[in-house]
Amino acid sequence: MPSFVQSDELADALQTLQDAASTPARQRISKVSTIVDAICSHAFNYGLNNAQLRLVLDVITKQSELDQTSITSLIKNLYPGQKVQNEAVTIVVGCLGQAQGKPSPTTQASLIKWLITVYEFIEDPTIISRLYTVLFGLLDMISLRPYLCHLLALATKRKHVRPSRMQQLLELVNSVGNEPALLSLATIYKDYYPEIILTGTIVGRAKPFTHPNPEWRERLHSIQQANLHDLSNVAPFQSGFKVVKHGAKRSKSEAIPQVHTLHAQELSVTLEEISNVNGFIDSLDRIDLPSQLIASLNDPLLQKYLSLRPSELASQRIRSWLLSYGLGDQAGLNDLSSAYKQEDILAGILSFASTTKTLPPGADMFIKRLIPKWDRMTPCTLLLDCLVLLPHHSFEGKVACAFARTRIKAIKQSADLLETIIKPVEAKLLAGHSITFTRMLHFYTDLARHLQLLVAAADDDAVQVIEHRIECFEQLAHHVLNLLPPILTTPQCSQSTTTAVIEFLEILATSLQYFHEISPSVFQQMPIILPQPHTIYILLFDTSVSDISHLCSILATYKGVLQKRRLTSTSLQQQTIDQFNGYLMDVCNLLWRSRAFGRGDINAMGCFLPESALPVFQDYLWNIDHEYGLPYIFGLSHHASLSLLSITALRELEDLAETRGEDLRLKHAGPVTQRSLMKLDKDGGFKITWRDYRVQVLDYLEKRSLGGIKELMFSTMKDLTPNAI
């Protein structure tokens, strides 16, 4: 039930709570603890809407007859189901201080802590800024000081840092001792005005503020997501128009610094002062660059600023930081030995690229220097995603040419990247387990897709560019296709790896179809690159029906492409046609014609199974059942992965016939053969021809998203379609 729905039970509980707050304990009719538990339970599960939140705050922000335990429980479960309105914040701040009618110091401290936890969910965060003077004036209260410093730190902007406040803050530090909260607030003041002098003791003992209860915040976020139908109104953890601030726990393992602007001019604006899109737009021309621009890797606001206001100076500063970091010991930095910091930087590079659609300056050289030190502790996903996003000129002049064998002039340029990036990464991944195999194949699939898009993006009159990019694609395809048979036959090969292989083959097939549709001229230049026979046959005997269906769909796509190429070009080699027809003949012999491993047909290769092995396999089958025959054991009816689906398709036809009133004296027990269907008809069972039965099975598979087999059969078999290569 959403929190903004006013239930009668909750309304009664809130009214009873208000009455109990003004009634002494001995005069109450009902127990307060029961009422508090009911309110807390509702708040924890659904949150409180603004009206309900106001009622509870009215009770706990005043002196009342409620015991401290009940008040503390209410505050701990004070989950707002909507954004906190300014009125609620004002009520809390108004109850702070020492005066008659104010709540206890414990309650006040808990309420300030509550403001900290809901700070990012406040409807108008500037309300804290407008109440800054009131909050700062309460710093002399010892019981409130730690949480007040934290709340002030969240709201502090440069306009709040005044000489009088800095003097008052330093006097407090000198008078009460080195309280960590005061020292941290003083350090924030110094960030805005470096001229302020703090002793080394103060700076050393100051610690960044951390969220008082991350689990509470997570729960609040879940409640608000569940309550708000418009997800755009859900309060996010981090606004894209606000500088990212992390706590102390993360800062220890982060390599990328946070955004800090030192030595800012009086009339300028720092990124730290911006909290919304309007402030960003209004101040765009007056923003001072942060002290360390490498913070742009992790900060969305700085990324947006650099995209809108690019400068060569900013690019050079980012490039210099990445290159000096990549030098490692040469620069006095040995941070690349830390997998956490490698991960942090690579994740930052991807974040920057996601926002700006370009890699940060110097990222390609940083990755190049990282590869020799990469020990697979850093997630390979991050590294490979960065490799895919290398600038276009790197792929055209380096990565793709690294696979080229005919461009003599590119050898020296390409060999460097091939030896320092592609080969080392590939070798380390191939030495791993199936997860790294899968990720490497995904990387090559993404890279092939990237090169495909480069070809499509080239101008039609840029003939040399198109030819070069097509050659890049061709060499990459040959390289990966040579890797597939060893990967598929390794013991570490898993189902996910097999699926990744099929995805790469699908890119090869669909890229040809794609260019035929958008650019016939490019389509004529694209090479027809067929998978190796061993790859096809290993996948054909896979246990996954989905993979078999996808493989058939890929072969059907290839067939359509080859037919279109033959109609428009004479450059297609007969060897390619014969090889592909061999694939088609073997697949159809297995699944449709009941001639598995046959070599009698033109181009048939018998799935590369030695003829000497056929009697051995046949003897094995006869030992299981004399009715089993090797030629049809991989057909639709007997295939280990398809037999259940096939007999189910027939039984559905039998059930449908009975609903039409047909009297079936016998139902087929399976598996189905041509002879068993004839016998079934004679015995008074369902009547259907062998061909129609198999077509019904194909239709049944198609309805279950396994239409690849039907697509291939209907485009290949002469008894289903007149078209063939």
Angle between helix 86-94 and helix 105-117 axes, rounded to 10 deg:
150
Q: Specify if 134 maps to a domain.
A: yes
Tokens of 164: 């009088």
In a domain, 685, yes or no: yes
Domain-embedded: residue 66: yes
Backbone angles phi, psi at 98, to 5 degrees: -110, 105
**Domain end position, chosen among 129, 155, 181:** 155
How many domains, the chain?
Answer: 2
Kindly state the percentage of the chain with pLDDT values over 70: 84
pTM exceeds 0.75: no
Q: At what angle do helices 674-682 and 690-703 cross, to 10 degrees?
A: 110
Does 52 fall in a domain? yes
Q: Residues 249-259, buried b or exposed e (16+ Cβ, 10 A)?
A: eeeeeebbbbb
pLDDT on residue 400: 41
Smallest CA-to-CA distance from 147 within 190, 187, 182 is with 182
In the block, which residue shows the tokens 């702070």? 96
For residue 621, list its beta bridge partners.
Answer: none
- Contact (Cβ atoms closer than 8 angstroms) between residue 213 and residue 76: no
Per-residue confidence at 434, pLDDT binned at 50, 70, 90? low
Centroid of chain to Cα 531: 30
**397-414 mean pLDDT:** 38
Residue with tokens 């610690």: 207
> Where in the sequence is the domain holding 147, given as residue range(s)?
8-155
Q: How confident is the model at residue 240 (pLDDT cuts 50, 70, 90)?
A: low
SS3 22: coil
- Among 155, 187, 212, the domain boundary falls at 155
Side chain identity at residue 539, one-letter code: L
CA 242 to the chain's CA centroid: 23
Q: Where a domain ends, among 102, 129, 155?
A: 155
What is the rounded average pLDDT of the residues 607-617?
90
Give the helix/strand (H/E) hosting 615.
helix 614-624
Which DSSP helix (H) or strand (E) runs through 438?
helix 434-457
Q: Is residue 89 within 8 Å of 123, Cβ to Cβ?
A: no
In a domain, 400, yes or no: no
Of 311, 645, 368, 140, residue with least CA distance to 149: 140
- Rounded Cα distance, 441 and 500, in Å: 6
- What percent helix, strand, coil does the chain show, rounded to 5? 65, 0, 35
Question: How many whole angstroms from its chain centre is CA 587?
Answer: 37
Q: Of how many residues is the chain composed?
A: 725
Interhelix angle 214-227/105-117, rounded to 10 degrees, is 60
pLDDT band at 20 (very low <50, low <70, confident <90, very high): confident
Sign (positive or negative) of CA dihedral 114, 117, 120, 125 = positive
Residue 658 lies in a domain: yes
pLDDT tens for 129-178 read 889 999 999 998 999 999 999 999 988 888 888 888 888 888 888 888 77
What tens digit of pLDDT does each residue of 635-688 get? 999 999 999 999 999 999 999 999 988 888 888 887 899 999 999 989 889 999
What confidence tier does 505 reach under pLDDT thresholds 50, 70, 90? very high
pLDDT per position as a tens digit, 435-467: 778 888 998 898 888 888 877 777 766 677 777
Burial class (CB in 10 A: 0-12, 13-18, 19+), 413: middle
Residue 17 in domain = yes
In a domain, 68, yes or no: yes
How many angstroms separate the CA atoms of 328 and 314, rounded? Answer: 22
Q: Are the C-beta atoms of residues 423 and 486 closer than 8 Å to each other?
A: no
